Structure 1
Amino acid sequence: MGKAAGDETYFRRSSLFWVTAITVSFSYYTWMVFWPESIPYQSLGPLGPFTRYLLDNHHTLLHNGYWLAWLIHVAETLYAMVLCKSKGITNSCTQLLWFLQTFLFGMASLYYLITYRPRRQKQT
């Protein structure tokens, strides 16, 4: 069986909901880890005291978890490249899109690549 036309350039953007949620939460996490003294705890409602508690009692865990999260994103990105090749996505620009999107948004991107089923043409 051969590849169907279009398989080599298959790409699907992550949903706006997940892109926004991941961007906001990871940005806040970065702020917590690197600039905790600049966080306006009193202005954040219930998130303020919770953030202060985490920083006061679990700073090492937060810091290590931050780097672990990036390491997981790197692993997901490498897996995305393997999936691209195994699913016939051979266009280098399309592979770059999968690489960048998966690095930035992790499973919100990788899900679409995992569930993608390439079309197959019958060889005659």
Structure 2
Amino acid sequence: MGSTGSDKDYFQRGSLLWFAVITLSFGYYTWVVFWPQSIPYQSLGPLGPFTQYLVDHHHALLHNGYWIAWLIHIGESLYAMALCKSKGITDGRAQFLWFLQTFLFGIASLSILIAYRPKRQKRT
């Protein structure tokens, strides 16, 4: 995608490093929110006591923040669709990939699309 020189099918995969960091972080966040009793706090170094404090004293905030984070990702994905249209990315597969990648990885994906500058062809 995007290799044809046309803007309509432009897609660029994000950084695997960012994707790994986001996946591990969100996975840990999910674990903390839904299964806090199964976390081996004493085995996590400095992260353990901090996490246990948050679970013990701010679990409602963690739970609400979790769902707010997903809502933000949905908003970013919808914004990605609007950006695709405004930048001339009309290919359905490319649009779906931008939506999915932005839903899963948020700003790590959206920032690539925001920075993309399509080649504007002169109209004759």
For 2:76 and 2:89, locate their aligned partners in 1 and report how far apart those are by CA, in whole Å: 17
Tell me how large the CA RMSD over aligned residues is.
1.2
Unpaired segments ≥5 residues, structure 2: none
Question: Secondary structure of the equivalent of 1:119?
Answer: coil
Higher relative contact order (CA 8 A, sep 6+): 1
2:102 is aligned with what amino acid?
T
Aligned-residue offset at 1:100 = 0.4
Residues matched between the structures, number: 121
The equivalent of 1:71 in structure 2 is 71
For 2:79 and 2:88, locate their aligned partners in 1 and report how far apart those are by CA, in whole Å: 14
For 1:40 and 1:30, locate their aligned partners in 2 and report how far apart those are by CA, in whole Å: 15
For 1:16 and 1:90, locate their aligned partners in 2 and report how far apart those are by CA, in whole Å: 26
Aligned-residue offset at 1:6 = 1.2
The equivalent of 1:105 in structure 2 is 105
Unpaired segments ≥5 residues, structure 1: none
The equivalent of 2:83 in structure 1 is 83
For 1:5 and 1:28, locate their aligned partners in 2 and report how far apart those are by CA, in whole Å: 40
TM-score for both structures, normalised by structure 1: 0.94
Aligned-residue offset at 1:5 = 4.6
The equivalent of 1:41 in structure 2 is 41
State, as a whole percentage, how many aligned pairs show the same letter.
71
